[in-house]
């Protein structure tokens, strides 16, 4: 049987999901994609889980309306808040979600001390508690919500003074306690990997989950007979709930894509 490529939906609170999108483009370039960043509401990570769950349902409806048959929740916060409820509400849609990569970190650490960078909301969710419970035994996990970091990255500030100060403030105490691994539990953070590496040095491993998420997406597509084959680059449609210029300006830097970003509008709590 030859697979016939279906459109997949990818969403995040903003530009963070582009770290997953660029990996999807690397691994499965022939897959048509619709991406939406809910930049009107970014950051999600400081909001109550219930609110993020509501946004996630509406964003999912928008993606399905635009033809998405499989959805990648390219946001740890939305996965923590909404993945279970999305699977319940949309049983016909396969979802790929994200959880902080505590499992590989626990398997690979030698010092037994691991830093986890994620959002407040992700740390509060049951998903993180269950990951820690299942995989974190015998490992010391040092957690930081990196206040303000998502906002800097949304502004395209990947290596400026403020971004550096936030990261140093969080990572220096972790280094003092002996971390040899850092887990990036927020999809915005892979964009500052060069800066993180500069701060933690060559002996600390930094885990970006995007390649594993893209592999899982490809596996699921294959299973359904939906995988786009070959190196032909399919279309990506980019949407944002804020002004499109800001997203459009950063697409080349963050995703290596040049495309027109379009606007989706929240109207009376629904996305149109
Ligand atoms: N990129 C998101 C995540 O992976 C959310 C960041 C935010 O909006 O606070 O958690």
Residue boundaries of the structural domains of the chain = 7-98+211-271, 102-208
Contact 207, 184 (CB under 8 A): yes
pLDDT cut 70: percent of the chain above it: 99
Neighbours of 171 (CB within 10 A): 22
Those residues of the chain that have pLDDT short of 70 are 1-2
Q: Of 75, 182, 214, 250, which is the active-site residue?
A: 75
pTM equals 0.97
Q: Which CATH architecture does the domain made up of 102-208 adopt? A: 3-Layer(aba) Sandwich (3.40)
Determine the Cα–Cα distance for residues 241 and 145; give it in Å rounded to an integer: 24
Neighbours of 145 (CB within 10 A): 21
Contact 149, 45 (CB under 8 A): no
Q: What is the pLDDT of residues 214-245, one digit of tens each?
A: 999 999 999 999 999 888 999 999 999 999 99
Of ligand 1's listed atoms, the one at least distance from the Cα of 77 is 10
Contact 102, 133 (CB under 8 A): no
Backbone angles phi, psi at 141, to 5 degrees: -105, 120
Domain 7-98+211-271 matches domain 102-208 at the CATH topology level = yes
Query: Does residue 125's CB lie within 6 angstroms of at least one atom of ligand 1?
Result: no
Q: Of 24, 132, 186, 254, which is the active-site residue?
A: 186
- Which class does domain 7-98+211-271 fall in? alpha beta
Please report the DSSP string for 158-190 in residue order: SSSHHHHHHHHHHHHHHHHTT--EEEE-STTGG
pLDDT score, position 248: 97
Query: Does residue 68's CB lie within 6 angstroms of at least one atom of ligand 1?
Result: no
pLDDT score, position 1: 55
């Amino acid at each position: 049987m030859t697979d016939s490529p279906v459109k997949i939906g990818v969403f995040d609170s903003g530009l963070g999901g582009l770290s997953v999108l660029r990996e999807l483009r690397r691994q499965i370039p022939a897959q048509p994609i619709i991406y939406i960043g809910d930049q009107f509401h970014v950051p999600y990570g400081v909001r109550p889980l219930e609110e993020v769950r509501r946004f996630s349902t509406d964003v999912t409806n928008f993606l399905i309306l635009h033809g998405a048959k499989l959805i990648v929740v390219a946001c740890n916060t939305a996965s923590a808040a909404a993945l279970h409820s999305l699977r319940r509400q949309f049983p016909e849609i396969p979802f790929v979600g994200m959880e902080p990569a505590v499992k590989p970190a626990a398997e690979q650490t030698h010092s037994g001390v691991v830093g986890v960078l994620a959002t407040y909301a992700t740390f509060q969710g049951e998903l993180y508690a269950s990951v820690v419970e299942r995989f974190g035994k015998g490992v010391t996990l040092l957690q930081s919500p990196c206040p303000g970091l998502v906002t800097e990255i949304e502004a395209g500030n990947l290596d400026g003074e403020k971004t550096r100060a936030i990261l140093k403030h969080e990572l220096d105490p972790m280094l003092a306690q002996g971390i040899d691994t850092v887990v990036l539990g927020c999809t915005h953070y892979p964009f500052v990997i060069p800066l993180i590496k500069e701060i933690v040095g060559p002996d600390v491993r930094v885990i970006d989950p995007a390649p594993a998420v893209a592999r899982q997406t490809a596996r699921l597509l294959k299973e359904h007979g939906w995988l786009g084959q070959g190196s032909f680059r399919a279309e990506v449609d980019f949407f944002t709930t804020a002004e499109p210029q800001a997203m459009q300006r950063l697409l080349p830097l963050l995703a290596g894509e040049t495309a027109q970003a379009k606007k989706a509008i929240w109207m009376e709590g629904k996305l149109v």
